[in-house]
Amino acid sequence: MGHAPFSLPKGRLEEGFEDKRPRYSDGEAVTEANRCIYCVDAPCINACPTSIDIPTFIHKIATGNVKGAARTIFDANLLGQSCARVCPVEVLCVGDCVYNHWGREPIQIGRLQRYATERALELDRDLIKKNKRATKSGKKVACIGSGPASLAAAGYLSLMGHEAVVFEKRAVPGGLNTTGIAPYKMDAQGSVDELNWILELGDIEVRTGVEITASDDGDGQVSAATLLQDFDAVFVGIGLGADSALELPDEAGAGVYGAVELIEQLKLDPQASLQGVTRAVVVGGGNTAIDIAHELAILGVPEVYMAYRRGFERLSAYDHEIEWGRTDGVRVRVNAVPTGYQRNPDGSLKGIVLADAEDGKAKAGTDKLMECQLVAVAIGQARLTGLAKVFAGVELDAKGRIVVDDATCRTGHAQVFAGGDCVNGGKEVVNAVEHGKRAARAMDAMFSK
Amino acid sequence: MADLTIDFCGIKSPNPFWLASAPPANSGKQVQRAFEAGWGGAVWKTLGNPIVNVSSRFGALDYGSTRVMGFNNIELITDRPLEVNLKEMAETKKLYPKHTLVASLMVETKEEWKEIIKKVEDVGSDAIELNFGCPHGMCERGMGSAVGQEPKVLKEITGWVKDFASIPVIVKLTPNVGDIVEPALAGVYGGADSLSLINTIKSIIGVDLDNFVPYPNVGNASSNGGYCGPAVKPIALHFLGQIARHTHINVPISGIGGISNWRDAAEFIALGSTSVQVCTAVMHHGYRIVEDMIEGLSDYLDSQGMSSVMELVGKAVPQYKDWGDLDLNHHTVAEIDEDKCIGCQLCYVACMDGAHQCIHIPGRSKEESFKAGHEYMPDHVPDRPVTAKGGTPGARIPFVHEAECVGCNLCSLVCPVPDCISMVEKRRGPDPETWNDRIRKGTDFVPGGLDATKRAHPKMSG
């Protein structure tokens, strides 16, 4: 069931983005690799959610064994290419490198991983496919959603001799890796290229424009019951729902966007434009907030503010992302809480009303209009609780996250596994990949019983 | 995927990677862990009558930020009771019957050789390696390199061993000789089934300048030790090449000396080794390095279209020649890649002070160039600013005066940028001509030398 590679429309804004951390040349990679002291029981491995054997792959780069380096990475993380670029390495592997405590520059693990994976696949695109299990099991798994969790599950299942069908509601596959990554880290093409490479492993089909429903099997729909009947197991990797809104008067209308929605538009819609925007305000203090703020600044919006209702110490965005954004012009306003919007007579956005805040709450009488042409609301995303619940036995916790067994990612339904943002409430790509890998291994064990 | 199994004197080994007789192969637990990690064989730490060791024992040579580029030790053979080693060897062979287990031996008298050979054969050893190489301590007692340096003695003892042994015998050679071929031939004529080399090189690793005691310090004194590690690889490759190309030496060779990764191993195999032995790299990084060695060698063989590692054995031997057989008409000149040069001028200073003054810095007058040390000037030195990414702003790309370049490689060796300086072939003549060709033709005379030599040369004096 091979299919033509997926592609993206041309003329997207992000195509003009400079690669902020370009791939190492061979010489640069070997030099950096030789700085690594090849620790044993290395903290970088423990810091990696997919437990990549980092010192080993770096040692292999140092010896010129770049294909071996890539095998080490892909064994632990099939999406090693995109993780090399989108992982917050500063708080994961690089942040735990022994050099940090020693007062030396930590090893640039993300950049080495990018070099190893990209270079090795240039040398041999079928590198991983060659190790695919020869015997086919005849088992079929449905993966709901086509983000990193589902792709990792489908890819590892394929390598273990099983079949996977990936159902994607949108026209473009790849989930947040395609629609939601700050373009200065990786553009959507990078995500689609990686997805196409995973599809080449074989026995994976992606069906876009298909919605999973509780009971309807209409056009473009497949019901949960049908999935359970037609497939030996189901992996739920549906991510999160729509951006949460501030629920303030005049919010609906031109100029006010959910952050994830706006990032997607800027990445994928060739018609997207920021013309006329001289000031933008991003509401929120998390990593999605700094991502969109940083992106708007790079795209040339003269003034970009992040407005956060609490103090600096409570910002949940990573420090390194805030610092990076600031160097590109992002300004951060803390203890500022939105209390309303103002619109011009023609309905266009005039600005957002911000009040001074104490402990996150607006202080009476401090409302002030901040004129702007664009507001991005980055205060979280809804949970897709309805979709999760279509499978009997699947339970949700109080925060709407699907409850799974940690080691296997199995839900309360023996046939149904889940992973990624819908399980952890919204973490990194690498966390989703780990879930997909665990689920695939658990399904493989189940199938071979 | 290429087949890494080797046939070494009839012994099938899962791969060519063996632990050398040294601390990493000191005990059963160690060797078993090594086999689990992927090593194809192990040469047990040398057995003999137990010895007493000193403390400390090791020293290392660091170079720049590279630790343990060279390594030196004054440790002797095994200090464990023979029976303990034999018991563990038997256990190991039983647990890993397909792995290669070689007993390294060092004793003195014929009776001792007879007894110990029987014992190691009884525990299932696949082969015996004769330690005629240890250059410290044991040689003072007439063993180790003391044997390896005396071809007659070496041949005689090899003969004894061959009489007693029913399994293949490997003679391990010492590099502490003038000509490795002599002991190698002595081993072969003594009946050796195989040769292994090199053992360590006699060395003093350094001197503590605070207390004037060489390293490693043993109670305010030290002794010469055996040198090994990455630094000795070129020396080992030379000795290996010497015996691999010898027409009377046609036994399998086990290569040893600074092998740290798959690439080193591939080079040793290409120059005539069938198996390779590793010690220092394991002492530095552990048994785990074998994963990269297996994978890297396998990928390399695939890339060369070779289906078995045995196809690689000796591939480079025919290309190792005497200087007199090299083509004098082969000529190369340095070429600097304008898109890569960062303008550091390291090639310039190396050429000026260490080679033939053919690299010029642009923007100088003729007078300035002569003052800087050039003797010959090109007609024109193009002034090219550095434009490479990462280049030094304002710097100039040095210029190679081709007519003066002798093609020595020095600039390309010191250049810090990979692939920036390449050596481009510009032949001096279409047909090859060697110095030995000139000797045969009687044209082996270069003018400008001594009168006495000129008078003595048949063509010139006639």
The total number of structural domains in chain A stands at 3
Q: Are residues A369 and A401 in the same domain?
A: no
Q: Measure the CA–CA gap between A251 and A375, rounded to whole angstroms.
A: 9
| B positions 274-293 inside 8 Å of A (CB) | 285-286, 288-289, 291-292
* Whether residue A302 sits in one domain with residue A236: no
In a domain, A72, yes or no: yes
CB B23 within 8 A of CB B75: yes
Q: Do B287 and B350 belong together in one domain?
A: no
- B229 and B145 within one domain: yes
Q: Which two tokens stand for residue B174?
A: 């010492």
The CATH number of the domain holding residue A194 is: 3.50.50.60
CATH of the domain at A56: 1.10.1060.10
Assess whether A372 and A388 both reside in one domain: no
Same domain, B188 and B234: yes
Q: Which residues of B touch A105 (CB under 8 A)?
A: none
Cβ within 8 Å, pair A60-B286? no
**Given A123, A158, A193, which residue is the final one in a domain?**
A123
- Where residue B374 sits, what CATH number does that domain have? 3.30.70.20
User: Do A409 and A435 form a contact (C-beta atoms < 8 A)?
Assistant: yes
Which residues of chain A have a Cβ shorter than 8 Å from any chain B Cβ? Answer: 25-27, 30, 34, 38, 40, 56, 59-60, 63-65, 67-68, 71
Same domain for B380 and B308, yes or no, is: no
The answer to whether residue A33 sits within a structural domain is yes
Q: Which of B318, B334, B354 is the last residue of a domain?
A: B318
Verify whether the Cβ–Cβ distance B261 to A68 is below 8 Å: no
Q: Is residue B458 in some structural domain?
A: no
Considering the domain architecture, whether residues A221 and A199 belong to the same structural domain is answered as yes
The predicted structure's pLDDT at residue A217 = 83
Which residues in chain B are contacts of A71 at CB distance < 8 A? Answer: 295
The answer, yes or no, to whether residue A446 has pLDDT greater than 50, is yes
Residues of chain A in contact with residue B299, where contact means CB-CB under 8 angstroms, are 65, 67-68
- What's B204's domain CATH number? 3.20.20.70
- Which of B259, B205, B209, B228 is CA-nearest to residue B56? B205
Question: Cβ separation of B292 and A60 shorter than 8 Å?
Answer: yes
* A·B CB contacts under 8 A: 40
Among A64, A88, A123, the domain-final residue is A123
How high is the pLDDT of residue B437?
Answer: 97
In a domain, A296, yes or no: yes
Do B373 and B236 fall into the same domain? Answer: no
Residues A371 and A391 in one domain: no
The answer, yes or no, to whether residue A240 has pLDDT greater than 80, is yes
Q: Report the gap between the CA of B330 and the closest CA in chain A (Å).
A: 29
Are A302 and A321 part of one and the same domain?
yes
Put simply, the answer to whether A27 touches B288 (Cβ < 8 Å) is no
Same domain, residue pair A261 and A358 = yes
For residue B368, the tally of other CB atoms under 10 A from its CB is 11
Average pLDDT, chain B: 96
* Domain presence at residue A427: yes
Q: Which of B9, B134, B347, B405 is catalytic?
A: B134
Distance CA A134, CA A124 (A): 19
**pLDDT confidence of residue B318:** 98
> Could you tell me if residue A250 is inside a domain?
no
Provide the shortest C-alpha distance from residue B307 to chain A (in Å). Answer: 16
Q: Are residues B153 and B243 in the same domain?
A: yes
**Residue B341 among the catalytic residues:** no
Any domain includes B431: no
Please tell me whether residues A272 and A369 are part of one structural domain.
yes
Residue A386 and residue A372 share a domain: no
Structural domain range at position A152: 134-241+382-447
- pLDDT at A18 exceeding the cut of 90: no
A308 and A231 inside one domain: no
Residue A26 has its nearest CB partner, among B292, B295, B418, at B418
Residues B208/B217, Cβ–Cβ less than 8 Å: yes
pLDDT at res. B461 = 52
- At residue A384, does pLDDT exceed 90? no
Q: What are phi and psi of B107, to 5 degrees?
A: -135, 180
What backbone torsions phi and psi does residue A40 show, to the nearest 5 degrees? -100, 145
B462 occurs within a structural domain: no
- Whether A160 has a pLDDT exceeding 50, the answer reads yes
Model confidence band, residue A275 (pLDDT cutoffs 50, 70, 90): very high
Say yes or no for a CB contact (<8 Å) between B263 and A64: yes
Q: Say yes or no: B238 and B314 in one domain.
A: yes
Picking from B222, B426, B263, the residue whose alpha carbon sits closest to that of residue B329 is B426
Model pLDDT for residues A305-341, shown as the tens digit of each residue: 999 999 999 999 999 999 999 999 999 999 999 999 9
If asked whether residues B377 and B252 sit together in one domain, one would say no
Summarize pLDDT for A130-146 with one digit per residue, the tens: 999 999 999 999 999 99
Query: Looking at the 3D structure of chain B, how many domains does it have?
Result: 2
CB contact under 8 A, B288 and A60: no
Instruction: Check CB contact under 8 Å for A56 and B288.
Output: yes
**Per residue in A170-182, pLDDT tens?**
999 999 999 999 9
CA–CA gap between residue B340 and residue B390 (Å, rounded)? 9
Q: Do A68 and B296 touch (CB under 8 A)?
A: yes
Q: How far is A106 from chain B (nearest CA, A)?
A: 16
Last residue of a domain, one of B270, B301, B318: B318
Nearest-Cα distance to chain B for A26, in Å, is 8
pLDDT score at B462: 47
Complex ipTM tops 0.85: yes
Q: Which of A65, A88, A123 lies at the terminal end of a domain, its last residue?
A: A123
Using an 8 Å CB-CB cutoff, list chain A residues near B286: 40
Q: Which domain holds residue B59?
A: 6-318
Question: In angstroms, rounded to a whole number, what is the distance separating the alpha carbons of residues B241 and B249?
Answer: 11
Q: Are A163 and A226 part of one and the same domain?
A: yes
DSSP A145-192: S-SHHHHHHHHHHHHTT-EEEEEESSSS-STHHHHSS-TTT--HHHHH
| The residue type at B93 | K
Specify whether A35 is located in the same domain as A80: yes
A438 Ramachandran zone, left/alpha/beta (phi>0; psi -120 to 50): alpha
pLDDT single digits (tens) B156-177 = 999 999 999 999 999 999 999 9
Which residue from B minimizes the CA distance to A25? B418
A129 contacts on B by Cβ (under 8 Å): none
Instruction: Report yes or no on B445 lying in a domain.
Output: no
Determine the average pLDDT of the residues in A146-156: 98
**Chain A touched by B418 (CB under 8 Å):** yes
Can you spell out the DSSP letters for A106-132?
A: PP-HHHHHHHHHHHHHHH-TTTTGGGS
Same domain, B179 and B303: yes
B163 and B17 within one domain:
yes
Q: Do A56 and B263 touch (CB under 8 A)?
A: no
Locate A103 and state its tokens. 């007062």
Q: Is residue B451 part of a domain?
A: no
- Spatial separation of the C-alpha atoms in residues A369 and A366, rounded to whole Å: 10
Q: Are B312 and B341 in the same domain?
A: no
Within 8 A of A56 by CB-CB distance, chain B residues are 288, 291-292
Residue A341 to residue B180: CA distance in whole angstroms: 89
Interchain CB distance below 8 Å, A56 and B285? no
Choose the mutation target among B294, B295, B421 for the interface with A, i.e. most A CBs under 10 Å: B295
The answer to whether the CB atoms of B296 and A26 lie below 8 A apart is: no
Residues of A in contact with B263 (CB under 8 A): 63-64
Residues B240, B116 within the same domain? yes
Contacts of A58 in chain B (CB under 8 A): none
Spans of chain B below 50 pLDDT? 462
Assess B299–A contact: CB distance below 8 Å, yes or no: yes
